[in-house]
């Protein structure tokens, strides 16, 4: 892979809106990605391996629980800092960002928000350092966009719960130490349970042959009569709103992360277009290529503004789920379109691993599908503005 020459586009001087702390955090994450992710990520993606060697680095830049309080091992930062860290990581690779998103928003967040003090003390510090890695089990083979239908369930057996069921498409599953699993009790109400590797009847087979998020490990969570101690149930929230609250937090991070992937594709295409000579001049001098680049920077700038404003609302605890849906949908769509255009601008070189664009493009096919598909987020906006539910 070519050396990482990334220069971040900031067409509307958005840096002026950031605090010194935001910029320090962002720049530290950016430098780490250049130093520790860019040189190894193409090889990891080609081999379809999650590069575990980067786990300590992710912890060091605050990617595991950026907004979790310091007393639990988190970085105690605001939501814009969280967004900026996700942006920088996804600039390197969406799969690495997925690992960080899951750990922070889908594992640490529910333990922090819905867990009791003993659970926070037991799990959060180890998750913050990456000593333990987590996964989040919501999706099932027959229930993806409609998680309310889940069949994974647990029964009260007096001194423990007995968990049965299966989760599919679970990021980090093959190597996770703990899994936050959503399952129904005997009355059909959804609860979160922390399942630990080593519990009898709990297995995590890997899903192979993905063409997308190849540097992220994806798999199943299978539960066959797993005895889960009663103290592993998250006591402070139940119902579908509990997992959906986690998804709000993760989708917010994705809205920022997708900007990183788009920035990398734009920056790569711009540099290539200035250097690549055809018909006696750089291809950047042709109107058709300028149209692509001009539209890319316009869309990136709009997405940056959307994410920044959403970050302000989130900091004030005023961001609605529907606002988060809009940003996730818009920014991922923006990124995937830019990746496709940028890939064409590199001609044949665009399909090789010499450049990051094709990897981003394939990764974004997962990002546009997980955490609510592109269509599902449109239905959420539709419901919000019309009051009519078009889901069913
Ligand atoms: C790489 C990867 C990692 C993932 N990681 C995780 C994870 O860590 N944890 C986890 O729990 N899940 C994870 N997922 C699962 C992901 O969230 C689901 O794939 C997603 O929610 C869609 O579910 P589905 O694949 O079952 O598609 P389906 O729900 O079957 O949808 C198929 C198509 O139908 C459309 N559709 C569905 N319902 C409607 C409707 N009412 N109206 C109109 N169109 C509709 C969808 O938009 C989609 O285009 C991951 C997925 C991938 C690919």
- Among protein residues, the one with the nearest Cα to ligand 1's atom 6 is 170
**Which atom of ligand 1 is found nearest the CA of 147?**
21
Summarize pLDDT for 14-41 with one digit per residue, the tens: 999 999 999 999 999 999 999 999 999 9
Return the pLDDT at 2. Answer: 83
Share of the chain above pLDDT 90, in %: 99
Say how many Å lie between the CA of residue 387 and the centre of ligand 1.
23
Q: Establish whether 60 is a catalytic residue.
A: no
Arithmetic mean of pLDDT, 380-389: 98
pLDDT for residue 125 is more than 90: yes
Arithmetic mean of pLDDT, 303-329: 98
Fill in the DSSP letter of residue 206. Answer: B
Residue 167: strand pairing partners: 221
Report the chain's terminal Cα–Cα distance, integer Å.
47
3 state DSSP class of 163: strand
Arithmetic mean of pLDDT, 109-113: 98
**Residue 153: exposure state from Cβ atoms within 10 A (0-12, 13-18, ≥19):** middle
d(CA 238, CA 31): 40
Return the pLDDT at 75. Answer: 97
209 Rama class: left (phi>0) / alpha (psi -120 to 50) / beta: left
Residue 206: strand pairing partners: 219
3 state DSSP class of 343: helix
- Among protein residues, the one with the nearest Cα to ligand 1's atom 30 is 144
Say how many Å lie between the CA of residue 209 and the centre of ligand 1.
18
- Among protein residues, the one with the nearest Cα to ligand 1's atom 26 is 144
Summarize pLDDT for 154-207 with one digit per residue, the tens: 999 999 999 999 999 999 999 999 999 999 999 999 999 999 999 999 999 999
Residue 265 near ligand 1, beta carbon < 6 Å: no
Q: Which two tokens stand for residue 392?
A: 């069913």
Residue 355 near ligand 1, beta carbon < 6 Å: no
Say how many Å lie between the CA of residue 96 and the centre of ligand 1.
20
Residue 104 near ligand 1, beta carbon < 6 Å: no
Q: Which two tokens stand for residue 361?
A: 């493009």
Residue 136 near ligand 1, beta carbon < 6 Å: yes
Summarize pLDDT for 340-351 with one digit per residue, the tens: 999 999 999 999
- Among protein residues, the one with the nearest Cα to ligand 1's atom 42 is 391
Return the pLDDT at 8. Answer: 98
pLDDT for residue 226 is more than 90: yes
Q: How many CA within 13 A on the CB side of residue 210?
A: 26
Arithmetic mean of pLDDT, 204-225: 98
DSSP per residue, 5-45:
------TT-GGGGS-HHHHHHHHHHHHHIIIIIHHHHHHHH
Best substitution site from 169, 190, 217, 244 to test ligand 1's pocket, by max atoms within 8 Å of Cβ?
169
Give backbone dihedrals phi and psi of 137, rounded to 5 degrees, phi first. Answer: -105, 100
**Which atom of ligand 1 is found nearest the CA of 392?**
41
- Among protein residues, the one with the nearest Cα to ligand 1's atom 34 is 145
Residue 139 near ligand 1, beta carbon < 6 Å: yes
Arithmetic mean of pLDDT, 47-73: 98
Summarize pLDDT for 128-167 with one digit per residue, the tens: 999 999 999 999 999 999 999 999 999 999 999 999 999 9
Share of the chain above pLDDT 70, in %: 100
Return the pLDDT at 1. Answer: 79
Chain CA centroid to CA 96, Å: 8
């Amino acid at each position: 892979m070519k050396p990482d020459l990334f220069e971040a586009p900031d067409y509307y001087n958005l840096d002026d809106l950031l605090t010194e702390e935001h910029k320090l955090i962002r720049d530290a994450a950016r430098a780490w990605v250049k130093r520790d992710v860019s040189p190894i990520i193409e090889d990891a993606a080609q081999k379809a391996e999650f590069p575990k060697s980067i786990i300590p680095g992710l912890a060091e830049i605050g990617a595991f629980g950026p907004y979790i309080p310091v007393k639990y091992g988190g970085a105690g930062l605001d939501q814009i800092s969280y967004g900026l860290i996700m942006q920088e990581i996804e600039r390197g690779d969406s799969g690495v960002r997925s690992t960080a998103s899951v750990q922070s928003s889908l594992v640490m967040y529910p333990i922090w928000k819905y867990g009791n003090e003993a659970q926070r003390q037991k799990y959060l510090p180890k998750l913050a350092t990456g000593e333990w890695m987590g996964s989040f089990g919501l999706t099932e083979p027959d229930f993806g966009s409609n998680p309310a239908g889940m069949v994974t369930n647990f029964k009260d057996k007096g001194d423990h719960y007995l968990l049965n069921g299966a989760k599919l498409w679970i990021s980090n599953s093959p190597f996770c130490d703990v899994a936050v699993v959503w399952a129904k009790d005997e009355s059909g109400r959804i609860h979160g349970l922390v399942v630990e590797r080593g519990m009898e009847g709990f297995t995590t087979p890997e899903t192979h042959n993905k063409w997308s998020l190849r540097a992220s490990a994806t798999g199943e969570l299978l539960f066959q009569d797993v005895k889960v101690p009663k103290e592993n149930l998250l006591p402070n929230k139940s119902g579908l709103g509990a997992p959906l609250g986690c998804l709000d937090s993760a989708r917010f991070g994705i809205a920022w992360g997708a900007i990183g992937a788009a920035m990398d594709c734009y920056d790569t295409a711009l540099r290539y277009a200035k250097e690549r000579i055809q018909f006696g001049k750089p291809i950047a001098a042709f109107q058709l290529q300028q149209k692509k680049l001009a539209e890319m920077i316009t869309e990136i700038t709009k997405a940056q503004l959307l994410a920044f404003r959403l970050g302000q609302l989130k900091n004030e605890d005023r961001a609605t789920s529907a606002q988060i849906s809009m940003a996730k949908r818009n920014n991922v769509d923006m990124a995937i379109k830019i990746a496709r255009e940028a890939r064409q601008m590199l001609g044949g070189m665009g399909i090789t691993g010499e450049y990051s664009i094709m990897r981003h493009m394939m990764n974004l096919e997962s990002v546009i599908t997980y955490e609510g598909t592109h269509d599902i987020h449109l239905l959420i906006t539709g419901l919000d503005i019309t009051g009519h539910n078009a889901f069913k």
